[in-house]
Amino acid sequence: MRNLWIGIIILTLFNACKSNTKTALPILGYKTPVTKTVNGKTVTDTEYATIPPFKFVNQYADTITEKSLDGKIYVADFFFTTCPSICPVMHRNMLNVYKEFKDDNNFRIISHTIDPKYDTVPVLKRYADKLGIAGNTWWLLHGEKGDTYKIAKSYLQSVSEKNPKGEYIHDGFFILIDKQKRLRGTYEGTDPAEVTKLIADIKTLKAEPDQIAAK
C-alpha cells in the first residue's frame, strides 16, 4: 500500500514535469501596456512588438510586402551573396529548414541582402539557383539599404556598413516570426544544434491554437 502511494506521487511529479516542457513558445520583443475601452470598460492589455509594414523585391522581381506574409509563419535572416565568413554556414543550415517545410504554403523564409548594390535581383536569382532553391518557400529580398537596415532593427538585428577591413558586419541569427508578426525566437544560424531547435520550434508554433486560427 505504501509503495502504491509512493508510485502515485512519483507519477504525479513526473507528469507535472512533462506538462511543463510542453508550453508554447515565448513571445519576444518589447511589450507595451495598452489601455483600451471595451464595452464601456477600461482594460489594460499587453501589446507585443510586431514587424512593421515593408516593401521589398524578391529574386523573381516580385514585390513582397508584409501582406505577402499574412497567415504565414516565417524565418528571417540577413546576408549578402559575396559574404566570405558566416553566410555560407548560415545558408547551409537554413537549407535544412527549407527542406523540412518547403511543401508548406503557410511557411516562408526571407533573407534580406544587406549589400543591395552588388546583390541585384539577377544576382539573387543566380544565387538561389546555385543554392538549389526553387518556388516560393524561400525569398531573397532586395531593397533600399536604409529600408533593410531599418527593418533589421525590428528583428532585433544589428547590421552595419563596411568596417575598415571592407567587410559588412551583421548578426548571424535566424528570427522566427508568427502569423501575428510577433517575434517568437532567435537562433544562432551558424550552429546546427540551434537550427535543429528552430525546426522543432516551428512545429510547436504551428500547433498553437492562435496560429491554427489565424488566417
Partner 1 sequence: MKLKVIGAIAVLLIVIGASCQSDDQIEFKRYYSAGSLVYQQHCQNCHGDKGQGLSSLIPPLTDSTYLKNNKTVLACFIKNGLKGKITVAGKTFDDQMQADDIAPLEIAKVLTYVTNSFGNKMGTITLQQVQNDLKNCK
Give the binding-site size for partner 1 (rule: CB under 8 A): 13
Q: Does residue 91 bind partner 1 (CB under 8 A)?
A: yes
Minimum Å distance from CB 105 to partner 1? Answer: 23
Contact residue for partner 1 among 2, 22, 41, 130 (CB under 8 A)? 130
Q: Which region, judged by CB under 8 A, interacts with partner 1, from 13-21, 33-41, 66-74, 82-90?
A: 82-90
**Would you say 33 and 116 are in contact if contact means Cβ atoms under 8 Å apart?**
no
**Would you say 85 and 101 are in contact if contact means Cβ atoms under 8 Å apart?**
no
Q: Which region, judged by CB under 8 A, interacts with partner 1, from 36-44, 78-86, 140-148, 157-165?
A: 78-86
Q: Which region, judged by CB under 8 A, interacts with partner 1, from 13-21, 29-37, 86-94, 163-171?
A: 86-94
The rounded distance, in Å, linking the Cα atoms of 131 and 129 is 5
Grid coordinates representing 90 are 548560415
Alpha helices in the chain (DSSP H): 2-21, 87-101, 121-131, 145-154, 192-206, 209-213
The rounded distance, in Å, linking the Cα atoms of 26 and 133 is 30
Minimum Å distance from CB 95 to partner 1? Answer: 7
